[in-house]
Amino acid sequence: MEAVLVGLGSMGFGMACSLIRAGIPTLGVDISPAREAALRERGGAGGPREAAIAAADAVVIVVVNAAQSDAVLFGEGGIAAGMKPGAVVVNCTTVPPDHARASASRLAARGIHYLDAPISGGAARAAAGRLGVMASGTEAAFAAARPALDAMAETVFELGDEAGAGSAMKAVNQLLAGVHIAAAAEAITFGMKLGLDPARTVEVISKCAGTSWMFENRGPHIARGDYTPHSAVDIFVKDLGIVSDIARAARFSAPVASAALQQFLAASGAGHGAEDDAAVAKVYARNAGLELPGGG
């Protein structure tokens, strides 16, 4: 197999390294020539982009949203036009299920397979080839993508033979993840207002029925006052925004996710969009007259 990976952000770069480590020649494509060069230094393929795309058995896409995915695949100089029939697009971008179905349909017209393959896990797991992939697509799409999936993922959840199911599951996961981060911030600051030390709250609740994966992961950021952006506030503005868009289109009332989205919007609006998503706690602190650890 030969591969092209589009989008060398913190997730995509690690995934490209995992492909290379598995012996799959991989050309990295990014808007930043510096990132492309950095991947070549890590063993990435070189040479002209057009030739690599024409030769690729799999093109893995790890961009920010549906609009970027469209630009990459179908825009001016888009990749789809240069791919060979029988190759597969493995789209790891978080997009609405309808968008995944539409992309699959457009590529099928060119004889190109499409795997709807959003990912779960942070940059560290991406670099280690240990992501979770929520995948759906035809049997042929899975078969064509298999070597790349094996290189990048610890677990591939196979969610059926149609594009859209993978993106639907990703939306469900992001709804919960976003709600749980906002709830962690709400609960920890609520405890502070009642006189509880945030580090002690994190320690105790992590062992009680109120815990969540996000509480245990992001709670310590709040307790330490460390807002280094492992995943930024604006990522949840985007992902809960996608959830909100899908829910509105489906006439699905999602009041808890809505409330969480408003808090992330407030955090971004107050200037914290590029900080770690745990900085949603700053909205709660400001609204409650509290000083967070680290002085936030």
- Burial class from Cβ neighbours inside 10 Å (0-12, 13-18, 19+) for residue 251 reads exposed
Positions 260 through 279 that interact with a copy of itself (CB under 8 A): 260, 262-263
13 in Cβ contact with 90 (< 8 Å): no
121 part of the interface to a copy of itself, by CB under 8 A = yes
128 part of the interface to a copy of itself, by CB under 8 A = no
Site string for a copy of itself, 74-113 (x = CB under 8 A): -----------------------x----------------
Residue type, 176: L
Please give the order of strands across the beta sheet that includes 88-91: 26-29, 3-6, 58-61, 88-91, 113-116
92 in Cβ contact with 160 (< 8 Å): no
Candidates 170, 193, 207, 238; catalytic one = 170
Pick between residue 57 and residue 116 the one whose CB is nearest to a copy of itself: 116
- Given candidates 67, 252, 269, 271, which one binds a copy of itself under the rule CB under 8 A? 252
Query: Which string of DSSP letters, residue by residue, matches 34-62?
Result: HHHHHHHHTT---S-HHHHHHH-SEEEE-
Q: Is residue 170 annotated as a catalytic residue, yes or no?
A: yes
What is the residue whose two structure tokens read 């030739």?
Answer: 51
The backbone torsions φ and ψ at residue 159, rounded to the nearest 5 degrees and listed phi first, read -110, 25
Cα end-to-end span (Å), the chain = 49
244 part of the interface to a copy of itself, by CB under 8 A = no
Binding segment toward a copy of itself, per CB under 8 A, in 26-34, 138-146, 167-175, 222-230: 167-175
6 in Cβ contact with 59 (< 8 Å): yes
- Given candidates 32, 46, 288, 291, which one binds a copy of itself under the rule CB under 8 A? 288
- Given candidates 47, 75, 105, 213, which one binds a copy of itself under the rule CB under 8 A? 213
Query: Could you give the residue numbers annotated as active site?
Result: 170
Residues near a copy of itself, by CB under 8 A:
97, 120-121, 132, 134, 155, 157, 159, 164-165, 168-169, 171-177, 179-180, 182-184, 186-191, 193-196, 200-201, 204-205, 207-215, 217, 243, 246-247, 250-260, 262-263, 284, 287-289
